[in-house]
Every structure is written in C-alpha cells, then in structure tokens.
Structure 1
C-alpha cells in the first residue's frame, strides 16, 4: 500500500492515513518486485512524504520526498563498527571507512566522488562509532541521481587499491597522533584497561600503524577485504534518500542500484558482553588529565535498554538526577561550592552491556570534598527511589516529547538523512521518526529495576584531576592512572548541606497556548521592518508567515563603550555574562526542558542576548533575564568559582591541537577590538566581586542597542519588548559620553607576514590566510568561487597524495565584509618547512587556474540560494545582516548578483592576484624541537615572531 501522508495524533499515537490514487497499483508493483512496504508515523505538521522499503536483498530503505528542498541528500549506515573489529586488527572498521572513498570499479579515480560532490554544491563525510559506520552526502537537488550512482558503488564494487591502502593507513595513523593529547581519548585508553577483554570497550577503535600493519602471511588489505565480505552485506545496511522527486521516482532511483548490494550471510556481530568482571566493582580509578580540569564520574553497569525505547526508563531517571532547577542535585552542589556542572544519562543503547553515568564538573573545593559529593548524589538517588517514580512525571515528559515531535523544526538534509539512517537500526519501521520521542507507557517496576543498578556496590568511581596520585600508564595515550579497590562504608553529609535537596516540581513553562497567530502584518515583504529607531535603539520586527509554528526568536545586541575598552574590561564582560547565565539557570532550566532556551554572551564590544523557542512564555523569561542583568549583584563565592572556571577554560587552550590553537589566534591578529584569551586570563586574576559590581553599573552608560523580534508575535508585542529592553539596558551618561569602539579589520600589506607559536604537541601545523583585495561584493564572490574550485583538490593533493596528515582543509574566514580563505594542514610526520612548502606549491600552481567555471558557479549559487530550513536559521540570516551593518537585507542579494555577473576571465585574473601575489598571514605552530633548522628567510618571510599578538599588540592598519 502506498503511504503518501501520515499524520500522528498526539497522546493516542493513532495513525491517520490518506490513501492517494495509485496506491493499489504501487502495492501490486512492490509485491511483484518482492519489496516490502511499511508504514511510517510522522508529525501532523511534517509536510515531507515518507516510504519505508525492504528490498529483496534485505537492505532497508527510507525514502523522503521534500518538494521544497534545495539540497538532496543520502546516507547509508552499516550496522557494524569498531566494536566488531577483530581483536588482532583494532581500528579495521575505521580504516575501511576511509578506504571506501578512494575509487570503485565503475568510478576508479580516487577523488572522482569527492570532485563530483564539490563541483555540484555538496559536501560529504563519514564516521565510525562502536556499532555504526555512517556515510552521507548532500548535493544540488538536480544532481541526486548521478551522486547516488557514485555513492552506491561504495557498497557494490570498491577497489581497495593497494597503493591507497598504504597511504590511507598513514592517514589513520595521523588521525590517531593528532588526538594523542586529547583528554577524552586519553581517558578512554584507561577505560580500555578496566573492561573485560571480551567487551568492545576494551578495543582500540581508531587504529594506527601498528594495529594495521602488514604481517607475515596476512597483509592488511586482505583483512580489509575479509571484513568487507563479513559485514558489508545488505542485511546490515540502512539507507535514507531525500530529494525533490516523488516517492515513486526516488524508489526507482534507489532500487535499481541498491538491489546490487550482496545479500550473503553476515558474520555475527559482537553482542551481549558484560562490561566488568563480577568481583571487580566497586572500584575507584584516578586519572591525571593534561588540562586543568576536575571531573567526577559515577558509572553503573546496566543492561542494554535498546528494546525499551517506547518506555525510556533510563531517560526518565536521567531527567530527574540531571535536573538543574531549584533544589536539584546540581543546585545544592553549587550552593556548597563543590560543582559547576552535572550530567546524567544512560549509555546503554547498544548490543552490549553499557552504563548509566552521572558526571560532575568539580571545583577545587569539590575535589577536596569528593566523598561528600558522592554521598549527596546517592542521597538524590534515594529520594528518586522513594518518592520520584510518579505517573505524572512520566506524563509530563511524554507531553514535552509530544510537543517536540509535533513542532520539530526541519534540519539540513544531510543531518536528517544521517540521523535517520542510524535510527533505522534502533527502531521499528513505523517508529523510525517518532522513536526518540516515544513515551508510550509508564512502567514503574521497570524504572525501579534500572534504579536498583545505581548502587554503591555496582559502582565505578572515576576521579579525573591534576592532583591525583598515579602508579600506572595506559599503553597507547600514555595516560597516568591508579586503580583502588573500594569498600562500602557509608559516607554521611551534614543535614545543613542536604536540606535543600528535593525532587523537581511541575514544570510551569510548558506552553499553555500553542496556536499560530493570524498573519496581520506583512510590511517589508520577505524582510523585517524597522519598527522603532531612537538615538540608542534600533528594533526590527517580522511576523513569521513561512514556518507557521508557535515559536519566535528575540535577538538583542548591546554595544557597550566600557565593554570594548580594553583587555581587562573584555575579561570582566565574559565573567559578567557567565554570572548572569548562572544566576538564571535554576529559574530557566525548566523553560529549556519545555522548548524555550536563552543565552547571554559577551562579545568584544558588548553583549548578545538570544531567546528561542515557544513564544508563549518568552516575555516572562525576557523580563527575568533583564532584571538579573541590570541588577548586576552576585554572591562573592559564585564570582570566585566562575572566575576560576573561566581562567581554567582560557588557559586550557594551550592543550588544544596545534591548528585549533592557531585558529584562536587568527581573529585576534586581524580584528579589533579583540583580545587573546591568555591575556584576558592574566587580566582577570585580580578582579574582585566588588570591582565587578562597580563595573556592571557602568556597562549600560550611553549604550547602543540593536534588536530583532521574529516569529509568532504581533507588532505591538514586539514594540512592548523593545521598551522593556531599552529601559533596562540603557543609562544616560553623566558628563562626557563614552564612545563605543568601532569594529575594524586589518588591511594587510602586500606579501606575507609570519607569526609562530611554540606548542607542546608533536604535530606541526600551518595556516595560510589570504585576504581579499577589497570588501566589495565582487571580491567576496571571487573568493567564494576560488575556494569552491580549489577545496577538493587541496585535500586530495596534500592529504591523499602527499599524506601530510589527517587535518587538511580549505575554508573561508570572513570578518565583517572582508573575505578571506585559509589553507590548513597539520602533520605528525612532515617538518614545518615541508608543510608550508606543500601549501605554497599548491597555491602557486593554482593561481589563475579556472576549470569547469560554470559548474562551480552553479554550486556557489546553490549554496547562496539555499533557503533556511527553520525559523531559527531564518532569524540567524536576518540577524547577521543587521549586525553586519546591512539593515536593507540586500547583502546576500548583492553577493548572488556578483557571482552571476563574474566571468571566468575575471575570476582567473583575481585568482592570479590573490594566489600569485598574495597579501596575507602565515600562522605556524610546532614544538621547539620541531623547528630546528627552520629558516624564515629561506621561506621568503620577514617575520618569525608571534609576540606582537601578545597583549593586544597590532602591527597593521585597519579598513
């Protein structure tokens, strides 16, 4: 039977069917082809059409017809991953994922697929997790058929070309080495030592040169082929294809190709293993991180809950333990000065035993009081066991989930297909969309059973802190750790420290009105209109008539003369924003659960305030936010705790990978006012609560406010908001009015400046930033076209052919209206000179080269004309124009016109100017031992010094 439209009815989960003409014929045709067709339940507001098929070879397919999409997309998910690696071939699933991109029998060129996607306005990627290997792409919608033909060959006839087996083995090793100082991976290396050898957690999932080496009589290529034969079979695969075509046309496009995937018998996947030895718990493991961070994790082994997705016992438990409202575990820990963050949830959705984890970000005092932190956590678990298993709580979660599905906002096609392809392994066909939202039946006994596993005798207590004493080192990432067998002695906490602890009450932010308002104001056409303009405030408004949801976005930017006056003020602004968010957290956390979120962030010249979600309670939340901001008075202990948290975060940037550190430095060099986070950390050290309060009282003097209200509001409601905002965030100056710093972008001289950063990382990294000649639309258009034409080739040359490293990419770096392109490479094996020369050669050889111009022009235009997918994306598009100084909303239109008018000859000329005689900056990073023999003069560079960025020093004039 053809399913053309499914309507999901709230609460009752009844399926409403609209049977269109031709459905009987389709059923007959499907039966004749031995194709199974299943129903799919979707939201009543979802205008996409769905069809779930099972092909004769048992490959499961979800077709999505979206008549309005600008991009088509597809994802194939193989239900195997690193958990299924042979013990003697760790990382093989991940290695295989890399290899599938490098040529097939029908399309043998190693970069053919990548070039096709890039030249038709698309992107592609893949990931390997424990139980999934997910491949996905998007492309201009008119090219779906051709892209799908290339994509299908990955799973029909890949080549595994011997030459690229060796090269990509090096790339996998580079990926491993690039993350060698990543604390998350370092801690996983410790967990591998704790798990039973039979459990997948004991495996090294990434792979390196050693695990993927050729061995006597067993070349790694043969193991790749065997793994592919064992697991890459149709019955292990799910496919999602989204396009403008009708379901019938999509089906024809898919079936002819994917029935060719072999349906041979698959090797059994790893399943049902216990995580720890029976007498192993309770156990304490202490781990020493590289970053200055303190974390406590309580992990409880629990049975997999995959089959229980319609009841969600672990989600119910996690929502209460992880609650952040008044009286919550986190709230009490914060009031005691022991913690700054908390998360709780189940990691038990797979085939093997998993864990329920409670993770707490400790303060230094919390580290010293860790036993009391654990005792307080078990106190909350006890409260939940005794009084928290209630039908009304479950029904409240079900109502919130029902609303979330009913008003789910459309995502980018590439994200949609990737997510759905993965979900198809976890949910029944009819539930592939609603599965994550399903709260179908309250089962108190089931919740109690899972709560029984949250016991002190079933506990792995993980303490991560720089202060811990260790006596062992993990083998791969060299992580220091220590194991201790624990007793079960009860820990008590004084009643004064637990008295506030309570279960969450009913959520008062659940919207009572979900009606979409009648459209009464369409002034300005497709763009917002200026509804209020004073000396201190400009406010734009647009009632949404496109997405028609009971939601809205309110965006506010406050330009503060004091906030942008120097590095100390910038640091204090960041602390002030953190304190505002912290002060609002208890009050606003229930709002976030009910689909209403907010953020207050400091920028280099002031503050941004954003509210998004259901509009019913937005006015109430906005008023509360503004009251806290204007009051500006915070408890001294919270000021000190959040100050220390900021200092740790800023100083921990030195532990990032080299290219990530350089990306933190680049805008500091090119944009003013902006300060380096390490300098802000130094400036913040001595700030006191009293000084911060005095500072906050001057923030709004002679401020300038920009504001946008977009969504399910009337004009008068928006005007009311503007008055409230102006009253709270503007203060008349006394005497001479302070001035707001102008935003400026460095106007680089001809040639290349060079700034070098010494790092504590074995990889070297180079970032070449090339700046557009002017800030006109034609300059931005030419830079986009050059980037689109070179992106795939840059990756192929430096990553695939030259094997410099895992991190290789070409990206945009636009500041205000000044376009820029950045060429990035990070290498664990090449010298810094070699990396720079490789980039330099590619840039020089590409100067003036323009091939397939019309093809790439169409790809750029497809990107520029790609319509926002939801209300929040549309709000962001409007807002970016306002804050960039283009309130006529013609910036994108002008850019599109410039792309359309440029000729191939003009772009070639611009390319010769930008790439052949560049004006730009080299940023490089390496450990001191890695730069021996490096001569900046040899590279034709006149500077080898990063110190001018320090303390906000600038060496350029500004546009």
Structure 2
C-alpha cells in the first residue's frame, strides 16, 4: 500500500497560549503571515472611541530595535512584498507577504512592533492628525455613510450603533487618563493568549512550525481574556428590517447561524443564473443587481444584508421583499445535496489557487471548508424562524459551475465543438492552414516562464477603428464570477481604441473560459453597471490609463465592431497540452488576428495637467513621470530610483509633514509605458502646496542617493527572478515588455541592468526625473496651478 500523502496544514496551541495555523503549499513562490488579535473597536472603553484603530496605526511607527525606516512596513516595501492591517469590531489583523529569503526577518519585525511599541507622545500627536484626516474622508464617503445608516435598525445599545472611527476629539492623547487606557488596552490584549498566527508558504510544516515557535517566544506571555458579549442585536422579537437609501434597498436579517452557513446562503442568493432571484428581479425590472453579504458576526450574533440596486420602479420595496421571501421559502424546502457538494468544490478550488497572503488570511478566519450538519441545521432554523409562506413561484436552483469540473473531450481533433466528421467539409484544409498561420502571428506563447506549474496567463488585446466597446463587465458578469470560482481571474480594460482582456489562473479550466468569452464578446454588450463612488485618489488611478492613452471613449453603438477589430495576444506558462487547447479556443475569438504595434504617446518633456472630476472634496493628485526612453537601461534606473525613494517619500510626506493620509509612490506600468507614480490625497492641503512638497522632495534625491550605504540593487534584482515571482505578477511584467517590444528574456536582462547600476547612474536618473526628461503627467481634481503646466486636451 502506498504511503499516505503528507499533511499540508497543521493547527496547534503553543505553551504560552498563542494559536498557530500552518499551511504548506509547495506551489507558492512567497510566504505570508496573518496575525489576529482578539480585540477590536468594540472592546475599547466607551470613553475613548477609536482607540483600537489608533493603536494599530501607532504600532507601525517603529520600535527601539527597529526604527521606522527599518520597521515592518519599510522592510516589506523594500523587498517587494505586501503589508497592511485592519481593525474590525472584535478583531485586529496584521498581515504581510514576502519572498522566502526575507520572511523570517519580517516575522521578527512583526513580533517586535506588537510587543515593544514606542507610543511616544510626539508620534501620537502626529498620528492622531492622520486618523482625523481619515475620519474626514470617511464622513464624506457615500459608501461608508450608507453602512452607518444601514445599521439604524439594530438595537440602540448595541455597539454596532456606536462611533468607533476615532478623530481629534475622541483621542485626547494629552490626557493622562487616555494614556493609561491606551497602555492598558495594549497590555491586556496584545499578549500571546489573545493572538492567533497563521503562516502559509512553500516551506515544510516543520520549517513553518519553527518560525511560529520563534515568533511566539518574542511575544509577551499572557492568558486569553474572554471578550465581553454584546447586548441583543434587535430590541424586539423582529428578525429583519428594511432600509432604503437612494436607489438601494437593503434587507437586513439577524441570525445565530455559523458564518459558513450564512456564506452558503449568500452564494446562492447572489447567483445570476436563470430561474434565480436576481434573474426574476431583472425580468420584472424591479432591480438591476443584488449582493448578499455577512456584515457582522460575533459570539453567535450575525447580520445578513441583502443589497438590491433598484430599477426604474423605486417604490418596489414591497414586491422585492415578497419575491425574496418566496425564494427563501423555495430554498428552505429544496434538496441541498448538490449545492453542498458544489460549495465544498468551490472552497477546495480557492485553496488550490490562493496566493500565500490570501491563504494565511483565510486561515485566520477559521472557517470550515464544508457545510457541516450543525451548520445545515442552524440555517434551516434561521429560515424557519422567518415564518415564510409556501413558495408559489417556479424557481430553479442554479446549475453547477461549468468550469469546476474537467471539460468533456472533443470527439475528433480539429473539429469545432459540436461538429462531427460529417461537418468536416465546412472548412477546407487550406483554410485551416491559413488560419493557423494568422493565429501564430497574433498569439505569442512566451517561453519566459516554466510550463511545469498549474497556472498560466493570457493577455488579449483588441484595437478598434473607433472607441472600444464599453459594458463588458455587465455583459459577462456571470462568466467572470464562474471563472473566479473556478480559479481563473478574468478582467477587462478599455482605453480609447484599445481593449485588453486579462485571464490569469489555473490552466485546466482556461480553454473553456476562453470559449465562453468568445461567445460573450460576440453578443451585444449590456449597459455598463453603475460604478460605486470612489474616494478621490482611486478615481484618479482609474482615470490614469485613459489619460496616458491620450484618447477619449466615444458613446457610439459598439455591437458591430468586434468582427472588424484587430487582435493579438500573449500567453505565458502553458504546458504543451494546454497550449494546443488555448490555440483552438482562440480561433473562435472575434476580430482579425494580427500583430499590433503599440506606441505610447510621447510627452516630449512637457508637463501636462489633467483635471479629473471626483466625488470627494479632498485635494487629490497623481504625478506620473515616464522614463525618458523605453529602453531597459532607463526602466532599470527608474525602478531602482523608485525602490530607494519609496520609504523616504512616505516618511517625509505622510509621517513628518502630515500632508495627507493617502500617500504612496512606486513604479507603475501603463500600456507598456514605465513611470514613477506619486500619489497624495489630503483634506487640508491645497493642490499647489502638494506640488510644492513633491518638488521639495525631488530636490532632496541627490542627497538621499549620496547618503545611502546600500542602493538596494541586489534586493530589487531578486524580485525579478522567475523563482520568486508569482505567475500573475510575472505575466503582467511580460505583457508590458511585449507591448514595448522587449525580448522574451526581458526579466533576466532587467535583473542584469539593475545589478549593473552605479551611484552615478542613479544620480543621473534623479536629475532626469527633476528635469522631466520623459515629461510629467499630473492628474488632479482641480485646475492647473500655474503656467509651468499645460492643460491636457
């Protein structure tokens, strides 16, 4: 009998009470940690709203051992990783992802900042201003205020109804009583018994356990303190209520069911298949969209919110509620056997494709992969408690996801799906050979990545004679969701006359996804979905590709243009068998396959100002600085410059000057064009002053380069090895290289260029940046500030 496969996950509790969850996934290129503290906004003394969120911010401001410039955030950014934190009602999460070689050092920094924060008064005064700026943005954000209004049906004495954001008034850091409460909260909750550490990576379980035990040893030991249970969610026996906000109707249901049971219900409520609730609402023009989600879950209390985007009839709440109750009644009395199997398949597939950070964060939630009998009973009890009348509508359960199971094999090689050999004469062999030659020139299979993994990536680029079609997200919404559930991310981007479809994920379902995409693209797009309001800086980021393309979308009818469009594609990471299947599926794509040249509009040293309308009143600005030329040498210099200045830029503008709460910099590639991107959003600093701060920082670059002992060549170059790059990130780099005309060994050449850069080279690049040798493109939510800028047409 063969030996059983080694386990891939492990749960244990260390002697000091630290909970540990380990995930071994050999396919991963990086490692991740998610640390959950069993304490959140609702655990704070009533006198100090926002204290938990404030402490989360303070922990990132450095320790005696690891000052800010050597702390976790700067370290992760320097090594090309991801890092963030989140304070929720009853939990606070810290999480990061790093390459294997630097992961242990990241864990060391995380443990130190959790255990030994400085909490200096100067740090607190500065960070309070950041929280106050975030509070102003939160109070102006339509979605955030909708969430507050949504909870008005909850009992007034429940903590969900309280204020927890934190601002200048609720955080009196000068008062001794507040300082006592801040330190007491840290000492009481930031200890081993209150924490759970989840690690995910390609390391063996033994290696991950060693890292976890070393991490646990650095923590303050202490027992777990049970969190105080909240008061009742509802003030009466009612189990649900409605809330109307503009064109949104919210149906809120309270429950004691486990989280996985509610997630199971949400999955089928959200299904867009014919015969379901959403399809019927759309047919009757009562609602255009539906989204069910769990907005709160703690200590046996849960709130399920169903958000209906209303159609033309804004007075349709009674009809919608009646249909919802009818569907819930139908669902309650249905056989869930196949749905439970599908639910388990979906969970297994997500574990199969999730990156290290997503795996670690999912493990920290502690959710079951399957719907247990206990969860089924709880969900049945919830539906029974609603006292629903028998269903009278002919509802249908959604079909199985077609991409979750192996596709049926074709009857005969070379035949279109659905044909038999009797149909062979529909296409001549000469036509086959001709079509094959055109596909070969249009669809490039890059050898840049090894083809021995389960993942691949496909980029498809169409060019139209006029504006690219809009509304693909609406037309193909069901396809996007089915593909995502099956481990394939499908996204669309239309800029001017160009449209790009990106397909990244598991190779096995990808040919079937591509065939369904071809079918969908040949249908008339629906009206685009209404986009939710964005904070100002996100609105600018969304507008950046269009501004760089130098074109504006038209509003003419796009239906007939796919057939005459020209397209090309790039595929990376596919095995020989999958390559053949992708080629066959690509033959069904609309348009004419050809090789397209792409040339980013040159700024010619100009400084262009794009005024972009945003919903928020905060001043927001993006400065995009393209490389002087599209050479590998310039790209390498720009990348190293961005690598060196990222942490100092954040430290100067965000921490020291308090210019804004959204402050970032880094390399951004737009349609093959590489540039340095700086972003700032501020509630109290005008656009002209933000630009002055950017100029002042750029003038300091020569001194920064001269004083740096290590420019970071080695650390940056290591980020571009194919062994360290996840497929999705590698494919994105290779796509932009393909647009620019770089060779297939682009990644290796870029590494060599980065390693060869000298201090003198970097000083030259810094001077080119200051002189706008490649031009500057500014996107802002206000008019140009002076005549040094030219208004973009």
With structure 2 as the length reference, what TM-score do the two structures score?
0.85
Residues 553-573 of structure 1: per-residue CA shift (max 9 Å, x gap): 55533333x2xx2xxx34xx1
Selected match of 1:605 from 487, 497, 501? 497
State whether structure 2 residue 752 is matched by structure 1 residue 856: no
State whether structure 2 residue 436 is matched by structure 1 residue 581: no
Superposed displacement of residue 134, structure 1: 1.5
Residues 843-890 of structure 1: per-residue CA shift (max 9 Å, x gap): 11113632446451122112212547666566555555444544x412
State whether structure 2 residue 786 is matched by structure 1 residue 923: no
Equivalence for 2:569: 706
Is contact 2:459-2:503 (8 Å) kept? yes
Is contact 1:345-1:358 (8 Å) kept? yes
Matches of 1:68 and 1:615, distance apart in 2: 14
Moved more, 902-911 or 209-218: 209-218
Matches of 1:921 and 1:199, distance apart in 2: 51
State whether structure 2 residue 47 is matched by structure 1 residue 153: no
Is contact 2:32-2:98 (8 Å) kept? yes
Selected match of 1:162 from 99, 107, 121? 121
Matches of 2:579 and 2:121, distance apart in 1: 65
Moved more, 75-84 or 119-128: 119-128
Superposed displacement of residue 716, structure 1: 4.5
Equivalence for 1:539: 443
Selected match of 1:229 from 184, 187, 205? 187
Equivalence for 2:360: 417
Equivalence for 2:420: none
Equivalence for 1:452: 384
State whether structure 2 residue 301 is matched by structure 1 residue 353: yes
Moved more, 90-99 or 260-269: 260-269
State whether structure 2 residue 321 is matched by structure 1 residue 374: yes
Superposed displacement of residue 70, structure 1: 5.5
Equivalence for 2:767: 912
Equivalence for 1:326: 274
Equivalence for 1:834: 689
Question: In structure 2, do the counterparts of structure 1 residues 771 and 318 end up closer, same or farther at CA, with 3 Å as the change threshold?
Answer: closer
* 1:784 alignment partner, SS class: helix
Matches of 2:30 and 2:349, distance apart in 1: 27
State whether structure 2 residue 330 is matched by structure 1 residue 383: yes
Matches of 1:615 and 1:241, distance apart in 2: 26
Moved more, 101-110 or 270-279: 101-110
Q: Kindly report which structure 2 residues correspond to 1:548-947, keeping only aligned pairs within 5 A, or say none.
A: 548-549=453-454, 555-560=459-464, 562=465, 565=466, 569-570=467-468, 573-575=469-471, 577-578=472-473, 580-581=475-476, 585=478, 593=485, 602-609=494-501, 622-630=514-522, 632=523, 642-643=526-527, 645-646=528-529, 648-649=530-531, 655-672=533-550, 674-675=551-552, 680=553, 684=555, 692=557, 695-701=558-564, 703-706=566-569, 708=571, 711=574, 713=577, 716-725=580-589, 728-730=590-592, 743-750=598-605, 752-756=607-611, 761-847=616-702, 849-850=704-705, 851-852=707-708, 854=710, 856-865=712-721, 867=723, 879-886=735-742, 888-915=743-770, 920-921=775-776, 923=778, 925=780, 936-937=785-786, 941-943=787-789, 946=791
* 1:179 alignment partner, SS class: helix
State whether structure 2 residue 460 is matched by structure 1 residue 502: no
Matches of 2:583 and 2:452, distance apart in 1: 22
Matches of 2:61 and 2:740, distance apart in 1: 41
Superposed displacement of residue 908, structure 1: 1.6
* 1:781 alignment partner, SS class: helix
Selected match of 2:339 from 387, 390, 393? 393
Question: In structure 2, do the counterparts of structure 1 residues 552 and 90 end up closer, same or farther at CA, with 3 Å as the change threshold?
Answer: same
Selected match of 1:342 from 277, 287, 290? 290
Matches of 1:106 and 1:870, distance apart in 2: 32
Matches of 2:519 and 2:189, distance apart in 1: 59
Question: In structure 2, do the counterparts of structure 1 residues 862 and 351 end up closer, same or farther at CA, with 3 Å as the change threshold?
Answer: farther
Superposed displacement of residue 257, structure 1: 5.2
Question: In structure 2, do the counterparts of structure 1 residues 658 and 595 end up closer, same or farther at CA, with 3 Å as the change threshold?
Answer: closer
Question: In structure 2, do the counterparts of structure 1 residues 263 and 715 end up closer, same or farther at CA, with 3 Å as the change threshold?
Answer: closer
State whether structure 2 residue 147 is matched by structure 1 residue 285: no
Q: Kindly report which structure 2 residues correspond to 1:477-496, keeping only aligned pairs within 5 A, or say none.
A: none
Matches of 2:521 and 2:713, distance apart in 1: 47
Is contact 1:178-1:806 (8 Å) kept? no
With structure 1 as the length reference, what TM-score do the two structures score?
0.71
Is contact 1:234-1:262 (8 Å) kept? yes
Matches of 2:265 and 2:639, distance apart in 1: 49
Is contact 2:721-2:748 (8 Å) kept? no
Is contact 2:52-2:87 (8 Å) kept? yes
Equivalence for 1:6: none
Matches of 1:416 and 1:65, distance apart in 2: 10
Matches of 1:627 and 1:912, distance apart in 2: 51
Superposed displacement of residue 300, structure 1: 0.6
Superposed displacement of residue 746, structure 1: 3.4
Equivalence for 1:734: none
Residues 647-670 of structure 1: per-residue CA shift (max 9 Å, x gap): x43xx7xx5333233334443333
Question: In structure 2, do the counterparts of structure 1 residues 531 and 56 end up closer, same or farther at CA, with 3 Å as the change threshold?
Answer: farther
Matches of 1:209 and 1:869, distance apart in 2: 42
Residues 71-123 of structure 1: per-residue CA shift (max 9 Å, x gap): 44433221211121222211111100001112324335576444444444444
Where structure 1 has 5 or more consecutive residues not aligned to the other structure, the ranges are 1-8, 10-14, 19-40, 43-49, 289-293, 307-311, 427-434, 457-489, 516-529, 732-738, 929-934, 954-959
Matches of 2:494 and 2:228, distance apart in 1: 48
Superposed displacement of residue 227, structure 1: 0.9
Residues 203-255 of structure 1: per-residue CA shift (max 9 Å, x gap): 3332111111247652x332211111221121111123456766656555553
Matches of 2:77 and 2:342, distance apart in 1: 46
Alignment: residue pair count: 765
Superposed displacement of residue 168, structure 1: 0.6
Is contact 1:553-1:875 (8 Å) kept? yes
Question: In structure 2, do the counterparts of structure 1 residues 512 and 71 end up closer, same or farther at CA, with 3 Å as the change threshold?
Answer: closer
Selected match of 1:438 from 357, 370, 390? 370
* 1:809 alignment partner, SS class: strand
Question: In structure 2, do the counterparts of structure 1 residues 201 and 671 end up closer, same or farther at CA, with 3 Å as the change threshold?
Answer: same
State whether structure 2 residue 38 is matched by structure 1 residue 95: no
Largest Rg, 1 or 2? 1
Superposed displacement of residue 373, structure 1: 2.0
Question: In structure 2, do the counterparts of structure 1 residues 436 and 916 end up closer, same or farther at CA, with 3 Å as the change threshold?
Answer: farther
Question: In structure 2, do the counterparts of structure 1 residues 847 and 769 end up closer, same or farther at CA, with 3 Å as the change threshold?
Answer: farther
* 2:236 alignment partner, SS class: coil
Residues 357-390 of structure 1: per-residue CA shift (max 9 Å, x gap): 222222223x24332222211111121123x143
Superposed displacement of residue 197, structure 1: 4.0
Residues 906-945 of structure 1: per-residue CA shift (max 9 Å, x gap): 11222123235665436364679xxxxxx945xxx434x7
